[in-house]
Structure 1
Amino acid sequence: MFSTLDVDIRPGSGIGMFEIGSSLWSVIEMLRGLQHLFPQVEVKFDPDTSSITPIILHLRPHFDLLFSGLHQRLHTICLRKLRDPHPPVTLRYKDTVISSSEEHLIRVRVNRTFGPTYPGDELKYPGVWFSFEDDTIGEGLKGGVPHPEDRGQEVKRVFVSQTDIASEQRDALDEVAPCAVMHGDVARAVIKVHDGVLLHFYLSTAAPLHIRLGETTAQDLNIDLGPPPRVHYKEDERMMIHSPNPLAGADERSIDYFYNYFQHGIDFLICGQTNVVRKIILHSNVPGSPLFQRYKRCLWELEGKPEDDEDDTPPRMHFYDKFETIGHFLSPKDPPPSMLLDRTDEEDGITLPSSTTRLYGYDGVILEVTEASQVVTVILF
């Protein structure tokens, strides 16, 4: 016996528990607690453009969620198979049931509920449209074969999007415009080598938050970013074997700890003695990489040196640029020697098509790079 999936429709805003503009990371985190409703989640993306690919979550049998390619924000929600009883779906609009297992959603009911709209093979309103073709989400965005306007024609799919498809103002794969659900999220993280990072927040008029290496304290982070979801004490000292003096200060290093801000895609390594930030780690959340979905995508920009003191727009590299471009930006010389890292070595039962990454060290920066030349992690020290 399946419990009923009871959801409300909010044009331009969301359906049920899904809100337009939510991050991919937060949606999947939510789904982990809703396995009784969505026991099977399928993630689809283009592996050839993994850092900028739109992502679709298939929540069988009823939901398809389309996320934008760069910001990984929920762009379009598709509710389908309204008559599938596993589980049955009840759809509401302004506290009125418009579709259920007893009463199916048909053209005339949509007209009565939402009013008149422009003619076509789909009923389109600002922020919501109703399709009579039971196809995939990608084909639905292109439109289908016109049907006669039969009053009893059954709705097969319901789409909600911030984009007003009827007016064709924006492409269906454009980025989502800033909205309330993004409030408090990091909009941009500008990396300044040997200095730190500037965090710009969505819907904020305040100055960017400047987190400095060797100056910002753990207390500052608690005040400015709130308590971290996890504090992790640094016990892995295997990299110290590459240090010129691996035994020096081992006791002091063992008490360093991380502040893990998964919801911002950022970690801070904090000195155990001084409680000051020693390293900053920013994550790209690239699909198919070993750390995918552990952190929200951080939209980082690596800032270069300005041409002169009056240069207000120094050159920058972005998270979606290839390693070869970023590496040349950091150092025009040949790439430095790299070290292999397999993050699945200590994870039994996890297999990935490409689990190995490489670490490239530059002056003040370490890049973790996939075989497809995507930078998945930036470490500032």
Structure 2
Amino acid sequence: MAESPRNEKKQRSKRIELVITPGRSLGPFRLGSTLWDTIHYLRERPNFFPSVELKYSQEEPIKYDFIIALPTNGINLRFDGTLQRMKSIECFDPTKIKLVYQNSDVSSSRTIPTFLLIYKAFGPTYPGEFVRERSVYTLKYPGLSFIFPIPARHRELYESSTDLPLEFPDGTTPIASHIYLFSNGSPNWQRATVPSLAKIVAEHNASTTLKYGKIGRRELESVKAQPGKEVVLHFPTHDSLDSRENTLTTSQVRITLQISTPQDILAELGKPSRIFYKEEDKMKIHSVTDDGAMIGRIAEDGKNDQEHNTAVNEEEEKDTSALEPTDYFFNYFHLGIDILMDGTLHVCKKVILHGNIPGHYDFQRYKRCPYQLHFPNDKNDNNHDHDPKVLVDVESDADDIGVPGDIVTADMKIDKMKKRIPWDSKNAVSVKDTSKGAQHKPVILTRGSSEQNPFGSTHLTGYDEGLVMEVMKNGHVPTIVLF
């Protein structure tokens, strides 16, 4: 039975109204917001945003920008690849939405965004730029740009003239085809950058409208970890209750392995998003091999801890009434971390850091954790006795300028990480392949069916000193386990 035209009309997407705040936001889309928050916001409002497309590089998802395309609404949201934070907003079809600035319509079903209307609404500004190759005129304001196509027959009028194209000689007027919003600190929309991160995070931490986290501990600026020892979380906050104050301070939360208790963690970070009770170890079978101590320990610390995320995603629950003590996780999805508590001693046993890499099974389950791993700088201790008169060629990487050689960051691939980790590489997670003698293969981690996880399996590598890394096929590390 066919639906009536009235029902069809009800199913159409709603026209949205967005308020322009130059250099700051377009409606609910605020510069500096995380990819994690933005996608969750869009998922909760399918009537307003019926079509959402995420565009990224499969091989280099961190090196290049993310783009959330909203074709029905005529909007593209661009995010910095490493930070996963919004750095610019493009409205490529102003006719699909209603735009408002200071209670005046800029574009709507009844308002056309002409050059004259925009110039009157936003006020005088410096002369714009005309690009002959594209035949477009750009009118720029701090944190805001309007793009006006110029017909070829009028191109010569603006190649050398500084006059504003308020109206063409034939009586027609330019109409904005694109609108770009970016931070005030950026020179233009092509070179847009994320606004001051500490300020943005501090405002989120002071927010009383967010649904997650403890006030003052809602969002991280950075995480500094020493494998085998501790993890220090950094939270920017305002000195004053008035978030408009520019003075910022950073509070720290220290989680010490084998020492921090559940009470310590709950007092500092508040209630976790979820508490998950660990199932029996599925990797103990590997501990009976000749390499038993190493493989058993690392594998249990790696693969089984990763598999708990699968159970979390599938909303599985475990009966906690068992007589034997059970280890349990505190899941802080909004911080991008999990904390494993020892079920007997009730101290922190492990900390798991999530990178939120697209193509990974847990993508968008956790917000990206901006971690740094710090190691003792003793990788080349055996070279300390070299002749000081002899020059040594030190390999450098342009992408790592300003990053000390003993620090591993969340944007590095596994090959680069291993070069910076000072521990013996033979301590990698592996299992013996008895069919080929003494050869070893990496531990493979498969989660979900091919339909649930079309990107395939990952593998684990790590070090007995307190570190396990999950590695994707493109070399990125979506998960770090510290123990």
TM-score between the two structures when normalised by the length of structure 2:
0.68
In 2, Cα distance between equivalents of 1:236 and 1:112: 68
Q: Report the residue type matching 1:234 in the other structure.
A: K
CA RMSD, aligned part only?
Answer: 2.7
1:119 matched to which residue of 2? 127
Q: Report the residue type matching 1:294 in the other structure.
A: R
* 8 Å contact kept, 2:469–2:479: yes
1:178-189 equivalent positions in 2, closer than 5 A = 178=197, 180-183=199-202, 184=205, 185-189=219-223
Q: Give secondary structure in 1 for the equivalent of 2:59.
A: helix
* 8 Å contact kept, 1:303–1:314: no
1:97 Cα deviation from its structure 2 partner: 2.2
Which structure 1 segments of 5+ residues have no match? 135-144, 308-312
Q: Give secondary structure in 1 for the equivalent of 2:285.
A: helix
* 1:299-323: CA deviation from partner (whole Å, max 9, x where unpaired): 111111146xxxxx78211122221
1:173 Cα deviation from its structure 2 partner: 5.0
In 2, Cα distance between equivalents of 1:173 and 1:379: 34
1:77 matched to which residue of 2? 89
Distance 1:258-1:54 versus aligned 2 partners, 3 A rule:
same
* 8 Å contact kept, 1:21–1:179: no
Q: Report the residue type matching 2:412 in the other structure.
A: D
* 8 Å contact kept, 2:149–2:174: no
Range that drifts further, 293-302 or 228-237: 228-237
Q: 1:362 aligns with which of 451, 463, 466?
A: 463
In 1, Cα distance between equivalents of 2:190 and 2:93: 26
1:266 matched to which residue of 2? 337
1:7 aligns with 2:18: yes
In 2, Cα distance between equivalents of 1:43 and 1:180: 27
Q: Report the residue type matching 1:321 in the other structure.
A: M
1:236 Cα deviation from its structure 2 partner: 4.9
1:148 Cα deviation from its structure 2 partner: 7.4
Q: Give secondary structure in 1 for the equivalent of 2:53.
A: strand
Q: 1:276 aligns with which of 302, 322, 347?
A: 347
Q: 2:179 aligns with which of 158, 162, 174?
A: 158
In 2, Cα distance between equivalents of 1:295 and 1:333: 29
* 1:142-163: CA deviation from partner (whole Å, max 9, x where unpaired): xxx9797144311122211114
1:131 aligns with 2:232: no
Q: 1:91 aligns with which of 87, 96, 99?
A: 99
2:316 matched to which residue of 1? none
Distance 1:93-1:371 versus aligned 2 partners, 3 A rule:
same
In 2, Cα distance between equivalents of 1:285 and 1:173: 23
Q: Give secondary structure in 2 for the equivalent of 1:83.
A: helix
In 1, Cα distance between equivalents of 2:263 and 2:103: 46
TM-score between the two structures when normalised by the length of structure 1:
0.85
1:227 matched to which residue of 2? 271
In 1, Cα distance between equivalents of 2:286 and 2:192: 45
* 8 Å contact kept, 1:51–1:287: no
Q: Report the residue type matching 2:82 in the other structure.
A: L
Q: Report the residue type matching 2:47 in the other structure.
A: H
Q: 1:195 aligns with which of 229, 238, 251?
A: 229
Distance 1:253-1:79 versus aligned 2 partners, 3 A rule:
farther
Q: 2:111 aligns with which of 95, 103, 107?
A: 103
2:5 matched to which residue of 1? none
1:281-320 equivalent positions in 2, closer than 5 A = 281-306=352-377, 315-320=406-411
Which structure 2 segments of 5+ residues have no match? 1-8, 129-136, 151-157, 168-172, 206-218, 238-247, 297-321, 379-403, 431-441
Q: How many equivalent pairs are there?
A: 354
Distance 1:52-1:163 versus aligned 2 partners, 3 A rule:
farther
In 1, Cα distance between equivalents of 2:117 and 2:35: 33
In 2, Cα distance between equivalents of 1:350 and 1:275: 35
1:332 Cα deviation from its structure 2 partner: 4.1
Q: Give secondary structure in 1 for the equivalent of 2:94.
A: coil
Q: Give secondary structure in 2 for the equivalent of 1:275.
A: coil
Q: Give secondary structure in 2 for the equivalent of 1:202.
A: strand
Greater relative contact order (CA < 8 Å, ≥ 6 in sequence)? 1
1:372 matched to which residue of 2? 474
1:342 matched to which residue of 2? 446
Q: Tell which structure's C-alpha radius of gyration is larger.
A: 2
In 2, Cα distance between equivalents of 1:193 and 1:164: 36
Q: Give secondary structure in 2 for the equivalent of 1:39.
A: coil
1:14-93 equivalent positions in 2, closer than 5 A = 14-61=25-72, 62-84=74-96, 89-93=97-101
1:137 matched to which residue of 2? none
Q: Report the residue type matching 2:285 in the other structure.
A: I
Q: Report the residue type matching 2:268 in the other structure.
A: D
* 8 Å contact kept, 1:90–1:97: yes
Q: Which has the higher strand share?
A: 1
Q: Give secondary structure in 1 for the equivalent of 2:196.
A: coil
Range that drifts further, 234-243 or 368-377: 234-243
2:412 matched to which residue of 1? 321
* 8 Å contact kept, 1:91–1:100: yes
Q: Give secondary structure in 1 for the equivalent of 2:106.
A: strand
In 2, Cα distance between equivalents of 1:253 and 1:172: 58
* 8 Å contact kept, 2:20–2:27: yes
In 1, Cα distance between equivalents of 2:177 and 2:324: 60
In 2, Cα distance between equivalents of 1:335 and 1:215: 26
Distance 1:155-1:335 versus aligned 2 partners, 3 A rule:
farther
Q: Give secondary structure in 1 for the equivalent of 2:283.
A: helix
* 8 Å contact kept, 2:183–2:192: no
Distance 1:350-1:333 versus aligned 2 partners, 3 A rule:
closer
Distance 1:179-1:212 versus aligned 2 partners, 3 A rule:
closer
Range that drifts further, 226-235 or 332-341: 332-341
